[in-house]
Amino acid sequence: MTGIGPAELVAGIALVALTAYVLLGGADFGGGVWDLLASGPRKREQRALIAEAIGPIWEANHVWLILVIVVLFTCFPVAFARLTIGLHIPLSLMLIGIVLRGSAFTFRSHYGHGGEHGDSSMSAHWGRIFAIASVGTPVTLGLCVSALAAGTLGPPGRAGFHASYVAPWLTPFGVGVGLLTLALFAFLAAVYLTVEAREPALREDFRRRALGAAAAVFVAAFGTLGLALLGAPLMGRGLTGAPWAPALHLATGAAAVAAIWALWSRRFRLARLAAAAQVSLILWGWALAQYPYLIPPDLAIRAAAAPRITLVLSLWVLGLGALVLFPSLIYLFRVFKPR
Amino acid sequence: MPDLLAARSQMAMSLGFHIIFAMVGIAMPVLMVVAERRWQRTGDRIYLDLAHRWAKGTAILFAVGAVSGTVLSFELGLLWPTFMEHAGPVIGMPFSLEGFAFFTEAVFLGVYLYGWDRISRRAHLAAGWAVAVSGMLSGVFVVIASAWMNAPTGIRWVDGRAADIDPIAAMLNPAALPQVLHMTLAAYASTGLVVAGIHAWPLLRHPRNAFHRRALSVALLIGAPAALLQPLSGDLSAKFVAHWQPVKLAAMEGHFKTERGAPLRIGGWPDETAGETRYAIEIPYALSVLAFADPRAEVKGLEAFPREHWPPVAIVHVAFQVMVGLGSYLALVGAAALWLMWRRHDLSRHRWLLRALVLAAPMGFICTEAGWTVTEVGRQPWIIHGLMRTADAVTPMPGLVVPFLVFTALYCALGVAVAWLLYQQVLRSPQAAEEDPA
């Protein structure tokens, strides 16, 4: 269990891809949340800004999730099998959310906005589906993560439908993680939108929303930590007892304070950086707390890993793929996100 | 509904749904780019309008393809965790490569759809080509993984476990080339001809409509050659099956008794209990010739294999007949259209061709669904040919009929929504300038 081998390396890359999904794809879901909560005199403008921000990039952002899944089933097939068996129900719910969010958003953007053939009632109808799915999907993602974190996905073969397929994820801790995920995604989206808004009044709308979301993140994070100590002792111990824990919490806290301060003093680009750092640190805190286990309490990264040849080839593919991917992504973001 | 049947039905439904959108995602960017290139070369604004409208349709279909593809990547585990536990390390490579191809496709589709006014004309066209090439590669990699299930190389099966795995050898499996060729051509033929059919319909009433005339010419440029080449790649696939999966070939042909100089059966209904195919038209020696290029070659019949290794014979045979029958029609229509285009005829004056194209519109997709039925149902009872049974791969989760029904309902609703949106798009076609008779 010592040292870093190809298995740990691949797992690290999967974590990086998951971080990218949360920072980019997560914010797209967060955009849907603010679409649902659009209010005030600039309701229309808020929704238009969200659609404009998500439109060109959401499909690329979504592929990070597919990359995580592919790495998981190629390099950690035992873990993939256990996850997809134990989390069949929340994963299916998440997929329904993903399908509805993506399709409804596209239907609305290409036939909505009262344009040439726009039918505004149909458009509003798709917008509503898009927004509701954007709220539900992060919660189901959080429920899945909670089962991993809590170590409730033991080896299969226990008796009873409820014990095997419901109990691992439907817990108070699970609901806490689900709401925390939702709050984090909404927070990211609001902070990003403060940078992307061109009108000052619209920017203020999202600044207020970002500050509100920051408060929601604060409540959800501490609530979840409390629930972890009560109901997910493994994660609770990892997050509080490990030698690196104080440094990590300090860094996360510093990023959170920096994000709020930057929002308060209207340094929006700094706020974007700090918010991304804060969310990444929360994700990595979870990963560190359960290291070296992929599925606590018993399935370690190395034990779940595929044969060495697969891991080495995968590292090559990931490396070469990155050579194509990163220039393409940089181009995409330079074209559509110049700020 | 037994869980195994529910899982198989959900997988079949999900694949059958996704494949349509995946094919359109592969071929439509080529049509779009050809139209845009013609606009850039000729300055004819109608081609630009065409590129815009096709891009809109592509955006909708690509999005549904992307999310339904995501569902499939999870369903591999949600429905077949034991399969993935053993096959993941062997065939993960093409899926990883597909991941990057799909990334490129999504990035440049975003650039293409939203970048009309933001980047140079040259960069915009290049983005379109990037979508077209990476879309094709995505399909190629996924089909390679699927082909491996028919010809599992790069793996040794010891005591119910995978051993000595070699992911490179798995990617180079003998089914890969014929399946990849057949599927890639299917994407261009089906999509090209459905678009041709859609634009042939209004041309029957307004043969001088400039918009539809240009659309038809671009669509046929992609669809017709692919439809014409498809029987050749089909022959390659059949020869692979004859060699590697003789029981599947026997089922496809409704061929029960091992014999030399075997006839080709067209149509008919295979009766598994009686062990014969009734009401078929038999062409003497033709099966031996097609499968082994020798009229006296022996073709193994179903009786040569244990009963428990038979796929559902009637389904496979009928699906194969549908694919070959409709595919032949498409090849003929494609050949006729290409001939007339070669001779510089005005296609819209040939009303019989327009009618034939309208009739052909849905056939490519039907062919593809039938072809996948042959491939996948014909592989049963195996999930990995000869190594792992489908029944041993299914998830232990009970009550699988519920997710099957839920996803079926979801996809039905989605299908209706997409059809409605595209219908509106096509129905309200532009009243483009009438063209002077050439």
At residue A296, the pLDDT reads 86
Give the global pTM: 0.93
What is d(CA A60, CA B102) in angstroms, rounded to the nearest whole number?
A: 8
Q: Which residues make beta-bridge pairs with B382?
A: B389
The arithmetic mean of pLDDT across residues A236-256, rounded, is 86
Q: Tell me the mean pLDDT in the region B98-120.
A: 93
Sign of the dihedral defined by the CA atoms of residues A186, A189, A195, A196, in that order: negative
Q: Which pLDDT does position A117 carry in this prediction?
A: 46
Distance between CA atoms of A170 and A153, rounded to whole angstroms?
12
Q: Is A313 in contact with B168 (Cβ distance < 8 A)?
A: yes
Q: What is the pLDDT of residue A111?
A: 66
Buried b (16+ CB within 10 A) or exposed e, B355-385: ebbbebbebbbebbbbbbbbbbbbbbebbbb
Mutate to test the interface with A, among B13, B18, B21, B74 (most CBs of A within 10 A): B74
Is 50 exceeded by the pLDDT of residue B328? yes
Nearest to A309 among B56, B166, B424 (CB): B166
Closest in A69, A161, A332 to B74, CB measured: A69
| CB of B219 closer than 8 Å to CB of B341 | no
Q: Does A307 touch chain B (CB under 8 A)?
A: yes
pLDDT digit string (tens) for B261-313? 999 999 999 998 888 898 989 999 999 999 998 999 999 999 999 999 999 99
**A152 to chain B nearest CA, in Å?**
17
Instruction: Give residue A115's pLDDT band: very low, low, confident or very high (50, 70, 90).
Output: very low
CB B395 within 8 A of CB A88: yes
**pLDDT, mean of residues A277-297:** 90
Q: How many CA atoms lie within 13 A of A197 on its CB side?
A: 24
Q: Say whether pLDDT at A116 is over 80.
A: no
> Tell me, what's the ipTM?
0.93
Which pLDDT score, from 0 to 100, does residue B426 have? 61
* Residue A333, φ and ψ in degrees, nearest 5: -75, -30
Q: How far is A190 from chain B (nearest CA, A)?
A: 22
- Written as six digits, the tokens of B95 are 């899926």
Question: Which residue does chain B place closest to A112, by CA atoms?
Answer: B421
Tokens of B171: 């990617």
Which residues, other chains included, contact B229 with Cβ-Cβ below 8 Å and sequence gap of 6+?
B185
pLDDT at A257 over 80: yes
Distance between CA B179 and CA B234 in Å, rounded? Answer: 9
Binary contact (A335, B165; C-beta < 8 A): no
Q: Which helix (H) or strand (E) holds A230?
A: helix A200-231
Chain B residues 372-401 with CB within 8 Å of chain A: 395-399
- Contact with chain B for residue A143, Cβ under 8 A: no
pLDDT band for position A157 (cuts 50, 70, 90): low
Q: Where are the extended beta strands (E) located within B7-155?
A: none
Confidence band (pLDDT; 50, 70, 90) for A114? very low
CB contact residues (below 8 A), chain B span 125-144, against chain A: 130
Higher pLDDT pick, A113 / A188: A188
Is pLDDT of A124 > 90?
no
Buried b (16+ CB within 10 A) or exposed e, B84-103: bbbbbbbbbbbbbbbbbbbb
- Quote the distance between the C-alpha of residue A189 and its chain's center: 11
Each residue's pLDDT tens digit, B388-436:
999 999 999 999 999 999 999 999 999 999 998 888 776 665 665 666 5
Please report, for residues A180, A250, A255, A313, the alpha-carbon distance to residue A262 in angstroms, rounded to integers and kept in the order given: 22, 18, 10, 43
The answer to whether the CB of B110 falls within 8 A of the CB of A332 is yes
> Chain A within 8 Å of B412 (Cβ-Cβ)?
no
Residue B187 has pLDDT above 50, yes or no: yes
Which chain A residues touch B84 with a CB distance below 8 Å?
Answer: 73, 77, 80-81, 84
Instruction: Note which residues in 227-266 of chain A have CB less than 8 A from chain B.
Output: none
Q: What is the largest CA-CA distance in chain A?
A: 63
